Structure 1
Amino acid sequence: MGAVEVRRARDAELEAVALLRWRMAHEHGGDVEAASEAAAAYAAEAAAWSRAHADSHVPMVAVADGAVIGCAWLAITARVPTPGALERRSGDLQSCFVVPERRGAGIGRRLAEAVLAEARERGLEHVTVHASPASIPVYERAGFRANPRSLHADAAIPER
């Protein structure tokens, strides 16, 4: 296994990034086969979405031996102006995924660090992440900390 490069995704890699998102969504049950017709259609549509949202969603990739083996997204959100700062933005780390056979080697941490570096470069105030219990140590190693001021509520309408 070759060295792993972590960086912003290139346009030609957006379909591969989308296929990782497909795998992420189907990892625990269901068809994870990236070659399926549904996955290919999703990849094309999601890559087009990525191009259309390039100003607000920045994909990062981990690449080894020419293959995209991991991804993470920086979603950028405008914030309400304050008297001292009319232009404010924050970020959210989203959809961080590393292929199962490459987990445990620090790739997820490196992707999270790349998202944080991009956020700093863009002058964002802070970055949040919604983490599974298993991934919390990965994000903590990258520099994330629990914040007692943050709360979470699901906005979806509950089923009756």
Structure 2
Amino acid sequence: MLIRPATPDAAEIIAQQRDAMFLDMGEDAEKLARVHDSALAWHRRALESGLYTGFLAETDGEIVGGAGLLWQDLPPNPDTDLDVRGYVMNVYVRPDRRGRGLARRLLERVLEECEARGVTLVSLHASEAGRPLYEQLGFKPTNELKLKVERP
């Protein structure tokens, strides 16, 4: 298996994996279909600009998983004196390839990228299925809250 960096031309596969990830988490297919094109455009733009770094897992020439990092420009805080943080997103492994350590290898590659860039604070939002792996890798729950502001 090969884990390779994603180029902007991989935006479509990343968007498809993201849709599949959300479907696995119980999200509504119609809602995902409505935002697919805008999510695809965002991923292409973010890959081109370097705002997002993606990795794809390939076996026998076939993409079977992926993971990525959103580079966040945030002020230093008590946990880091740096102004760049990594936000892990789009972690996905095709169902027929799960249970073989692929998600772990993708996350290890993501964390290697953070280390290579000197980024010392990394966060993510975990699905119930992913939580045990993230905790094994040292991620800790935080006190984050969320509010969805409705449009008028």
Q: CA deviation at 1:125?
A: 2.3
Give the counterpart letter for 1:25 in structure 2: F
Q: CA deviation at 1:13?
A: 2.4
Unmatched runs of 5 consecutive residues or more in structure 1: 32-37
Of the three residues 12, 15, 22, the one matched with 1:15 is 12
Give the counterpart letter for 1:135 in structure 2: G
Q: Does 1:50 align with 2:43?
A: yes
- Check whether the contact 2:82–2:119 (CA below 8 A) recurs between aligned residues: no
Give the counterpart letter for 1:91 in structure 2: G
For residues 116 and 49 of structure 1, the distance between their equivalents in structure 2, rounded to whole angstroms, comes to 23
Q: CA offsets, 1:11-48, max 9 Å, x none? A: 332211211112222234766xxxxxx59x93x65443
Q: Where does 1:10-159 land on structure 2 (aligned, <5 Å)?
A: 10-27=7-24, 28=26, 42=36, 45-54=38-47, 55-81=50-76, 88-141=83-136, 143-146=137-140, 150-157=142-149
* Identity level (%): 30
Unmatched runs of 5 consecutive residues or more in structure 2: none
RMSD: 2.8
User: 3-state SS of the aligned residue for 1:134?
Assistant: coil
Q: What is the TM-score normalised by the length of structure 1?
A: 0.74
Distance 1:145 1:21, change over 3 A: closer
Q: CA deviation at 1:107?
A: 0.6
User: 3-state SS of the aligned residue for 2:63?
Assistant: strand
- Check whether the contact 1:7–1:114 (CA below 8 A) recurs between aligned residues: no
Distance 1:21 1:145, change over 3 A: closer
User: 3-state SS of the aligned residue for 1:109?
Assistant: helix
Distance 1:112 1:103, change over 3 A: same
- Check whether the contact 1:15–1:46 (CA below 8 A) recurs between aligned residues: no
Give the counterpart letter for 2:69 in structure 1: L
Distance 1:86 1:25, change over 3 A: closer
Q: What is the TM-score normalised by the length of structure 2?
A: 0.77
User: 3-state SS of the aligned residue for 2:120?
Assistant: coil
